[in-house]
Structure 1
Amino acid sequence: MNHAGDLLPHALQPYWDLALASVQAEALQLALEEGLFETLQQPHSAATLANARGWRPVSVEHWLTLLWSMRLIDRHRDAAGEWRYISTHVAQRYLASSSPLYCGEAWRFRLASLRDSGAGLSEGLHEQGRSATLASGERWAAAARSHLAREQISVTAPAACEVVAQRMSPEAAWRLLDLGGGPGLVAVALAKAFPQMSGVVFELPEAADVAAQHIAQAGLASRLEARGGDVVRDGVGTGYDLIWCSSVLHFVPDLSACLAKLHAALKPGGELICVHAEIPDEPEAARRMLSYYLPLLWQGRRVTQAGELCEALSAQDFEVCEERPITLPMAPATALVARRRVK
């Protein structure tokens, strides 16, 4: 007799899973709308929760069970044998609204954005050669105040600190350029972790104003400044020991020219940490990344094939010292550490 666990998955299972994922997304969306993970910082039964909110108890039980299966809720039986539910550590850390690392609204923004992108694929198929304009400075500033800020605090900044800590001594007096730094919270985190660091957050003027506010709020205005400009047309400064460049190169029209500008901005021996997604050679590895970047590609933006960015850096006389995976919101990326050679 065969058991369910003995059965091999059907060849169509991955595509059935795509349809099933839409239900899971709706379950999480509903939990965020209702502040469920905040409420479940203390254990509740489905009946208690339903009575407090005016919900249908049996529906609540099924919904909580699905969230439990998604590892967003833990459960245990009480003395009466009734399930009691509590948010998992991950949910409390990132999805409870009182957490300083709350990313619930950022997740909902990404969900809505990806739904819109997916719905527009058919239109993109029939509009070949049309490159969408970049978001306006005002829209980019709004993003810097909202989901980008949350994601930098909870995901990008800790990853940046980890990478930089392996490259730089905490006592070194080094100068940073955070290129395309959005809300500036990566630079803020680095300045807090490395007390001798100083530097510049370079962004579009409207977003640079947001970064300046965050720098001032952190009490770091004596060491960090936010500078507004266009990376293609304007100078970014020189004499930097370290440049953090994350997801900027997807948008520049001339990759070689931009990398040459960054090479000139570094001191000899200075390092560029270049964090961008590339399209892997293996389909399973490529699937998750392309699900996020396909709309960008259809807008005419650049997402390089695996290894192309390393070649482009080498062509500009960078010495590529290290290549490592790094966690960014939504899709994995690669951090390339490239040094300006000392002549």
Structure 2
Amino acid sequence: MRMDFQTEHPLQPLWRLAAIPLQSQALEQALAQRLFDQLREPASAQAVAERLGLHAGACAVWLELLWSMDLLDRQHANHAQGDDLFASSALAQRYFLTDAADYCAQAWQYRQQALSGLASQWPQWLAKGSVAMTAPPGSWAQAARVQIGQEQRAITVPAMAHLLAQLGPLPATGRLLDLGGGPGHIGMALAQQLPHWQGLVCDEPATAAVAAENIAKAGLQGRMAAQGCDVQQQDYGQGYDLIWCSSVLHFLPDPAQAVRGMWQALKPGGLLLLAHAERPDDPAMAACVWPFYAGLVLRGHYLPRPGDIAQHMAAAGFGQIRALGRLDFPMAPVWLHAGRKPV
């Protein structure tokens, strides 16, 4: 008689949820020990333990756990070879080797620490509805310089390149605005794809200074600039042919007014691209969004419902409004909407 052990218990997803802190700490320790650099070439748990000064038995369990997370590859040993060998997986090599082009270790640690801190405050949130949260001066600019910069380069820019390929041809010349652009890598990627365009990155002043440094490093200062601005006050100029704005409306007291400001800043015929996370109606998709935006909403910020962005655009006067689909951005997916200012 054949026995079927494939049926999953209804509690299994919640048991896996309980295991996440252990997995998270395993990765945290791997980054702290620079394990993935150590395992560019296969090595046994015993060799890793000796190299890093760790307990051999605990190290073996740690490597098995990381292998189960697809962060290590494992080569089974035979009796002649001795212990199993472990090496950094393709995923770890791409994002966690210290010299990788898409290095994201500090970005992951930044998100992990923020979410862990938020999780520890649930009793206070539920009892009081709010918790005092203050960021040290310059913290957003520092995140833009390091962690957010890593995410933009490794994740957001490739998604943007994929988007451009689907948009169709744009004019040979024009002016673009990366509004709330943080370290500026998205605006820079747009400028590199549009070699005869001029561009501007706008964000709060300290963060705009980081963008200006990145523009200079990329050799784009002849066509790109960065300036401090207040998105809500629409002090970023006019006459743009293309405005890109992602994950900005969440933080504004009046998102509808901000979209009207973007309409005013565009030339007739100009294109607005808005990319923001939304409150999905599908629970599986909502599970990809809410863990990362719950804290934002608890602090009184805006998470649009499906259809809200298109309504803001229509109310501001945009035409040819269309949903371009979902983009895989850092942490949670965003939904991209396009609209044109009528000629």
Task: Find the aligned partners of 2:127 and 2:261 in 1 and give their Cα distance.
Answer: 36
Task: Find the aligned partners of 1:238 and 1:168 in 2 and give their Cα distance.
Answer: 24
Shift of 1:127: 3.3
Partner amino acid, structure 1, of 2:61? H
State how 1:110-149 maps to structure 2 within 5 Å: 110-128=111-129, 138-149=138-149
Question: Cα gap change, 1:144/1:256 in structure 2, threshold over 3 Å: closer, same or farther?
Answer: same
Deviations 1:8-48 (A, max 9, x none): 22222222111111111111111111101111111111121
Match of 1:32 in 2: 31
Partner amino acid, structure 2, of 1:244? W
RMSD: 2.0
State how 1:70-219 maps to structure 2 within 5 Å: 70-77=69-76, 80-128=81-129, 138-169=138-169, 172-219=172-219
Match of 1:49 in 2: 48
Partner amino acid, structure 2, of 1:32? L
Q: Is the 8 A contact 1:137 1:205 kept in 2?
A: no
Deviations 1:193-246 (A, max 9, x none): 321222100110111111101101111101000011211124221111111101
Number of paired residues? 340
Match of 1:274 in 2: 274
Which runs of 5 or more residues in structure 1 are unaligned? none
Match of 2:316 in 1: 316
Deviations 1:27-81 (A, max 9, x none): 1111111101111111111121112222222222221111111111111135615
Question: Cα gap change, 1:233/1:171 in structure 2, threshold over 3 Å: closer, same or farther?
Answer: closer
| Structure-1-length-normalised TM-score | 0.93
Deviations 1:257-293 (A, max 9, x none): 1111101111222211111000111112112201110
State how 1:211-230 maps to structure 2 within 5 Å: 211-230=211-230
Task: Find the aligned partners of 2:304 and 2:213 in 1 and give their Cα distance.
Answer: 34
Q: Is the 8 A contact 1:121 1:295 kept in 2?
A: no
- Post-superposition, which runs of at least 4 consecutive aligned residues in structure 1 deviate over 4 A? 1-4, 130-137
Match of 1:338 in 2: 339
Partner amino acid, structure 2, of 1:12? L
SS of structure 2 residue aligned to 1:320: strand
SS of structure 2 residue aligned to 1:212: helix
SS of structure 2 residue aligned to 1:310: helix
SS of structure 2 residue aligned to 1:232: coil
Match of 1:68 in 2: 67
What percentage of residue pairs aligned between the two structures are identical?
Answer: 39
User: Does 2:302 match 1:289?
Assistant: no
Q: Is the 8 A contact 1:325 1:335 kept in 2?
A: yes
Q: Is the 8 A contact 1:27 1:63 kept in 2?
A: yes
Which runs of 5 or more residues in structure 2 are unaligned? none
Question: Cα gap change, 1:98/1:42 in structure 2, threshold over 3 Å: closer, same or farther?
Answer: same
Question: Cα gap change, 1:275/1:339 in structure 2, threshold over 3 Å: closer, same or farther?
Answer: same
Match of 1:232 in 2: 232
Shift of 1:122: 2.2
SS of structure 2 residue aligned to 1:97: coil
